[in-house]
Structure 1
Amino acid sequence: MDPRSALWPAAALTFNAFVWGVSWWPFRRLDALGLHPLWATVVIYALAVVVLVAARPGVWREVLCHRGLWVLVLASGTTNAAFNWAVTIGDVVRVVLLFYLMPLWAVLLARPLLGERLHRGAAARVGLSLAGAIVVLWPADGGWPLPRTLAEALGLLGGVTFALNNVMLRREAQRSEAARAAAMFAGGALVAGVLALVLTSVGRVGAPPPPAPGWTLGVLAMGVAFLASNLALQYGAARLPAHATAVIMLTEVVFASVSAVALGAGAPTLQALAGGALIVAAAAMAALARAPAR
C-alpha cells in the first residue's frame, strides 16, 4: 500500500484509540455531576442507536433474524458497561492493562467459536499475557494475584467480553456493517441499562439527576465523540490490513496511561510497567501474527 494512501486511515484509527484512551476523564466528570457511568453509557449509546435507526430504519430486521448478532449485543454491551465503570472508579493504568489481556481470551474463545487451533505462536501469546497479568495483580503484601477491587474485576471482565465481541465480529463477517454496528450500539444501551436499573433499585447506584446543562451537554458531546470514533474505526479498518489496524489500536494503552498519570488517575509503578510490557507485547504479537510474509 502507498504510504500516502495509508495516512488518513491510520489517522482515523489513532483518533478512535485516542477517544477510548481518554474517555475515562469525561466519565469521571459526569460521575462527579451525579451521573453514574452506567447511566451515562445508556444515554450515549441510546443516542447512537437513534442516529443509526434514522439512517438505516430496516437494520433491526437483520439483527433479529441472526442469533450470532444477539451474542454480539451481549458481548459489546458488557464490554462497554464494564470498561466505562472500571475506568471511572479505579486506577486507569491497571484497568486498561487488565482489559488488554484480550488476546489471551481471544485465543481461548477462537477454538470453540471459530475452530482455530492453538498453535505455538498463540500459546506463546497466552503465556506472555498470563505472566503480565500475574505481575500486574501480584499484591505487595503477598497472597494470590487476583483482582482486589471492583475496578480490576470489571477490567478483566471487559477484556473477556471484548475478546468475545471481536471473535463474534469475525464469525458474523457476512452480516452487513450496519447490522453489526446496530447490535453493538444496542448492546451498549441495553446491558448497561438493565444493570443500572437493577443496581439503582437496590440502592447501589444513584438514579440519574434531573436534566442540567452540565451533564446533558457532556453526554451529548461524548455521544458525538463515540459515534465519530466508531465511524473512524470502520473507515480505517476497511482500508488497512488487519495486523496494521490491531497495532495502531494498541496506542489506546499509551493514551490512557499517559493521560491518567498526568492527571493523577493512575500510578506508573515499576510493577505495572513490567506487567504492562508483557501484556502489550502479547497483544502486539497477536496483531503481527496476521502480517503477510515479505
Structure 2
Amino acid sequence: MLTSRRPSSRLLPSIALLAGAVIWGLIWYPYRAIEAAGMGGVTATFITYGLAFLFGLIPLWPVLRRTRPSFWLVALALAAAGTNLGYVLGTLDGVVMRVLLLFYLSPLWTVLLSRLLLGERLSRAGAGVIALSLAGAFVMLWRPELGLPWPQGSAEWMGLGAGVCFALANVLIRRTAHIEIEQKVMAVFLGVIAVAPVAAWLRGEAPLQQFAAIGADTWLLLALIGGVLLLVNLVVQYGITFLSANAAIALFLFELVVAAISSWWLAGEVMGLKEWVGGAMIIAASLFSGHLEPERTDHNVEDAPRSSVQVDVLDDRSRL
C-alpha cells in the first residue's frame, strides 16, 4: 500500500522519481531483446502488463475491492493503453531519442486538453508552452527536402500519439482525483490488456504462435519486466504525491538523459545538432509547464485524502 504520511524530507520521493526515470529510460532495451527472440512488441506488452496486474492483485486487493465502475476510470485506462503501447512500439521501431522527444510534447497537449475537458483558461504561460513546444518540434523535424516538418515513419507517429494519450491521461487523472492511486494503476494495466489484442491483430502478430516459439529465458525476462512495471508505477506515484509539479517534471526529464546514453551505448543511435536544439526547446517547455500551477503546501498534502493528492503534468505515467 502507498502511505499517505508525508515523509520528513524530499529525499525519498526524489529518489523514487529518479528511479522511475531510469527505468523508463532503459525499458525499451529489454523489449527489443524480447522482439529479437521472436515475440512482437504488442504481444510482449500484453504479457508484461498482464503479469504486472496479476502480481498486484494480492497486495492491492484491500483497495481494489472498493473499486466502483466509472466512465472516467475506463477513459483513463484506454488513454494509458495508448500511451504504453505507443511508447513500446515507437521505441522498438524507431530512433529512441526522437520518439521520446516527440512523446515529451505532451505538455502542449496537456494545456489544450485541459482547456477542452476541464474548462481551464489558456494563460500566457500556457500559450508560451505551446509556442516553445511547437518551435522545438519544428526545429527537430524540419527537413527541407521532405516538405512540412511532420514525424517521419510510423515509429515517430506512435511516439507523438503516445504523448497525446499521456496528456489525456494526465487530464483524466485530475478529473478522477477521488479515485485511489492503486485503483488507477491497476486500471492502467487492464487498459493495456484490453487494447493489446486489437493492436496485435492490426499489426498481424500471432500471439499464440509466439508463446510456443520463445524459450524459458525470454519468459523469465517477461516476468521480470512485469514485476518492475508494478513496482515502478507504485514508487513513482509515491514520489509524485509528495513533490511539487515543478520538482517532479525536472526529475522525470532525467529519463531523456538515460535514454540518450543508453540508446547511444546499446543501439549506436546518435542525434544530430538540430535534434539536440529542438529537443532542448521541448525539454524547456516541459520544465516551464511545471510552473503553470502553484506549488502545494505542506498543509494541502497532509490534510487532503491520499487519493486526491495529484500533480498536473506527470501524475500517473503508468506507462505510464
Query: What is the CA distance between 1:291 and its match in structure 2?
Result: 4.8
Q: 1:293 to 1:188 in 2, by over 3 A?
A: closer
Query: What is the CA distance between 1:69 and its match in structure 2?
Result: 0.5
Partners of 1:8 and 1:97 lie apart in 2 by 27
1:102 corresponds to = 106
Query: What is the CA distance between 1:193 and its match in structure 2?
Result: 2.6
The answer as to whether partners of 1:104 and 1:129 remain within 8 angstroms in 2 is yes
Give 1:186's match in structure 2, choosing from 177, 181, 190.
190
- Letter matched to residue 31 of structure 1: E
| Structure 1 residues 118-140: Cα deviation after superposition (integer angstroms, max 9, x where no partner) | 11000000000001111111125
The number of residues matched between the two structures is 291
Query: What is the CA distance between 1:52 and its match in structure 2?
Result: 2.6
What is the TM-score when the length of structure 1 is the normalising length? 0.92
1:208 corresponds to = 210
Partners of 1:271 and 1:224 lie apart in 2 by 38
The answer as to whether partners of 1:200 and 1:207 remain within 8 angstroms in 2 is no
- Letter matched to residue 160 of structure 2: L
1:70 aligned to 2:78?
A: no
Segments of 5+ residues of structure 2 without an aligned counterpart are 1-5, 298-320
Q: 1:62 to 1:75 in 2, by over 3 A?
A: farther
The answer as to whether partners of 1:94 and 1:266 remain within 8 angstroms in 2 is no
What is the TM-score when the length of structure 2 is the normalising length? 0.85
Give 1:35's match in structure 2, choosing from 22, 35, 39.
39
1:171 corresponds to = 175
2:236 corresponds to = 233
Partners of 1:142 and 1:47 lie apart in 2 by 42
1:289 corresponds to = 292
Query: What is the CA distance between 1:254 and its match in structure 2?
Result: 1.2
2:250 corresponds to = 247
Partners of 1:230 and 1:3 lie apart in 2 by 19
Give 1:26's match in structure 2, choosing from 30, 44, 54.
30
Partners of 1:46 and 1:157 lie apart in 2 by 22
Query: What is the CA distance between 1:148 and its match in structure 2?
Result: 1.7
Partners of 1:293 and 1:113 lie apart in 2 by 23
- Letter matched to residue 169 of structure 1: I
Query: What is the CA distance between 1:3 and its match in structure 2?
Result: 11
2:201 corresponds to = 197
RMSD: 2.4
Give 1:121's match in structure 2, choosing from 114, 118, 125.
125
1:217 aligned to 2:220?
A: yes
Give 1:269's match in structure 2, choosing from 269, 272, 280.
272
| Structure 1 residues 236-262: Cα deviation after superposition (integer angstroms, max 9, x where no partner) | 112212221122111111111121122
Partners of 1:262 and 1:206 lie apart in 2 by 34
1:133 corresponds to = 137
| Structure 1 residues 177-198: Cα deviation after superposition (integer angstroms, max 9, x where no partner) | 1221121111122222321134
The answer as to whether partners of 1:76 and 1:187 remain within 8 angstroms in 2 is yes
1:146 aligned to 2:150?
A: yes
The answer as to whether partners of 2:244 and 2:296 remain within 8 angstroms in 1 is no
Partners of 1:291 and 1:266 lie apart in 2 by 38
2:92 corresponds to = 88
Q: 1:207 to 1:114 in 2, by over 3 A?
A: farther
Q: Percent identity?
A: 37
Partners of 2:16 and 2:151 lie apart in 1 by 34
- Letter matched to residue 179 of structure 1: Q
1:260 corresponds to = 263
Partners of 2:216 and 2:15 lie apart in 1 by 32
Query: What is the CA distance between 1:67 and its match in structure 2?
Result: 0.2
2:115 corresponds to = 111
The answer as to whether partners of 2:245 and 2:295 remain within 8 angstroms in 1 is no
Partners of 2:286 and 2:220 lie apart in 1 by 36
- Letter matched to residue 48 of structure 1: A
